[in-house]
Copies of this chain bind each other. A is one copy, B any other.
C-alpha cells in the first residue's frame, strides 16, 4: 500500500532529524518535530519548553509528574501524571495529523501510535557512538559532560520512555520497516533509499 506518512525514530546524534527534514522537503510533505511540540502546547496548555523536555523522556524524569495526582487534588489532567497526560495529548495530535496530511514525524513513539495504519513507513536511524559523538560536538558544541555521556543519557531516556509507553524495545528492528546505519551509509544515501521506497510504493 502507498505510504503517505514516515515516522523516524533516531538515536541522539545519528542525523535522523536532518534525514527527516530532507525527506519532507524532497517529497513536499509536512515535517513534524518541534512543530509537533507547538500543537501539543496548544492542546494541553503546557509550556513548549516543558513539553520538549518531557515528551520523549522517561516518566521518572519528570519532577512535576506526580505533583497533580495526589488524592483530593482535582486537575485538568484527568487524574493522570503530567507525563501520562502529555503522552495522551501527543498521541491524539499525532493521530489527527496522520489523518489530515502526508507528513514526516520525528520521534514521539509515532511508529507505535500509528501501528494500525497501513500507509505508514516506520524507520529507525542509528550509528555507532564514535560517529555520533563527533557529530554532536560539531553541531551543538562541547558541554561539561563528555559527548559519550550526553549520548548515553539521552538515548537511555528515550529507550525507557519507549518501553514504558509501548512495551517494546527501542531499536529492535522488528518495530520498524527499515532500520539504517547512517554512520556507515551516510545521510544522503539514507534519504535517497527512503525516498525511493516511498515513491515506488505509490
Contacts and interface: CB of A to CB of B under 8 A. Distances in A.
Interface of A: 124, 126, 171-174, 176-181, 184-185, 189, 192-193, 196-197, 200-201
A176 B181 contact: yes
B179 A173 contact: yes
A184 B173 CA distance: 13
A184 B189 CA distance: 21
B177 A176 contact: no
A201 B171 CA distance: 25
A1 to B, nearest CB: 9
B180 A177 contact: yes
B178 A189 contact: no
Given A193-B197, A196-B196, A197-B193, A185 B177 contact: yes
Nearest to A181: B177
Given A172-B173, A179-B179, 4 more contacts: A124-B179, A176-B179, A177-B180, A178-B178
A171 B174 contact: yes
23 contacts: A124-B179, A126-B173, A126-B174, A171-B173, A171-B174, A172-B173, A173-B176, A173-B179, A176-B179, A177-B180, A177-B184, A178-B178, A178-B179, A178-B180, A178-B185, A179-B179, A185-B197, A189-B197, A189-B201, A192-B200, A193-B193, A193-B197, A196-B196
